A and B are shown apart, each in its own frame.
Chain A
Amino acid sequence: MMSSNHLDRRQAVARLLRDRANALVVTGLGSATYDVAAAGDSPRNFYLWGAMGGTASLALGLALAQPDTPVIAITGDGEMLMGLGSFSTIGLAQPANLIVVVLDNGLYGETGAQQSHTVATDLAAAAGACGIRDIGVVRTEAELERLAADIAAPGQGPRVRVIKIDAAENARLVPLREGAHAKVRFRQALGLGAE
């Protein structure tokens, strides 16, 4: 499962989502969306294909609206960096049912593998400094297993986990791209109206 001392993103996401139970999942554009789709489509997934920087904020609104259901945001380091302020917003709002998982390969993989700021920016520490007390970096399979074991359990407050993944590119697995349909499908999975 490991190469270049980092975890394989697709295997890591598949492992986490195997124990998702009834969790709602929101994905950041690019590879995180493909990784979650590759783990198996679900009407309880909402895939972003744009709105870069908005994944954690969208997950916050969802987590506050569904406080009894775990909400997992899965995104990349570049997407998270564009919405870094949302760590502050989440740190203030303190939704206990929200976990933000950042797949960090230190690269902007969608645009030609340019180096990302995470060579200098420690995203977990940034989240901690924003008032998100339950933070962590996942580097090994053992740590991944520990995260999987309680990913769908409510925390004491919001959680952020940065998973160090290798830089390998995977085949693009293209999930539902029609946004209005994805919205309706998601709401219906929650027993809400179709609008």
Chain B
Amino acid sequence: MTAQDMTAQDVPVTGADGSAGATIRQGWPDDIFDCLREFGVRQVPYVPDGGHARLISRVHQEPSMRGIALTSEQEGIAVAAGAWLGGQRAALLMQSSGVGNCVNMLSLIKICKFPLLMLVTMRGEWGEFNPWQVPMGSTTPDALRLMDVQVQRADRPDEVGDVVRHAATMAYGGGSAMAVLLSQRLVGAKVFTR
């Protein structure tokens, strides 16, 4: 992809070393944003993540939403629970590696039957350059299911909005703990180049 091929909705991702990385195509982050706004989500705790960069940016620009940067994903589980206790809906954004950080904190969700919506960008499953992402990426769905979080998955850009909308219905309407895994094929493999 060249710069000329990019649309306004494409997001260039810079590698941790400052190198140019992958480009995320298409408007699925906007579909997620529209869905969160439609459901009246007020708090969006997140650990910064390239795959969610556009969504995070839109959340911070939206007056009805509060983006809450976390130092670790498990904080976000507790923030989401606190938000619900106080009458607000939260959606928690993270990368698959962060799911492992959440496991014990998910006890809070399970024991108190808090609704939860996690939106997880996947690493370690599709053209992953960094092998250190594979152990957690490959066990992310199992780790969530072990803690009774319902797992749904979106692989194609055109299905993201629909999948998130139905997960949100189950979370906020039905009180379930839900995670939507956004596949690495969708997000785009991170490329490290010098």
Contact = CB atoms under 8 A, between A and B. Distances in A.
Of listed B76, B78, B111, B114, residue having the most chain A CB within 10 A? B78
A92 interface: yes
Main secondary structure of the interface of A (DSSP, over half): helix
Contact of A65 (B43, B72, B111): B43
Given A54-B81, A58-B79, A89-B68, 17 more contacts: A48-B108, A57-B70, A57-B78, A60-B68, A61-B45, A61-B78, A61-B82, A61-B83, A61-B90, A64-B43, A65-B82, A86-B78, A180-B111, A180-B113, A183-B114, A186-B85, A190-B85
A51 interface: yes
Contacts of B80: 61
Interface residues of B, number: 35
Contacts of A54: 74-75, 77-78, 81, 105, 108
B69 interface: yes
B107 A65 contact: no
Interface residues of A, number: 37
Contacts of A52: 104
Of listed A63, A89, A182, A192, residue having the most chain B CB within 10 A? A89
Nearest to A51: B108
Interface string B30-48: 0000000000001101000
Given A51-B78, A89-B71, A65 B112 contact: no
A140 B142 CA distance: 50
A157 B107 CA distance: 30
B77 to A, nearest CB: 7
Interface string B90-107: 100000000000001101
Contacts of A17: none
B86 interface: yes
A62 B86 contact: yes
Contacts of B79: 57-58, 60-61, 89
B85 A89 contact: no
Contacts of A83: 75, 78
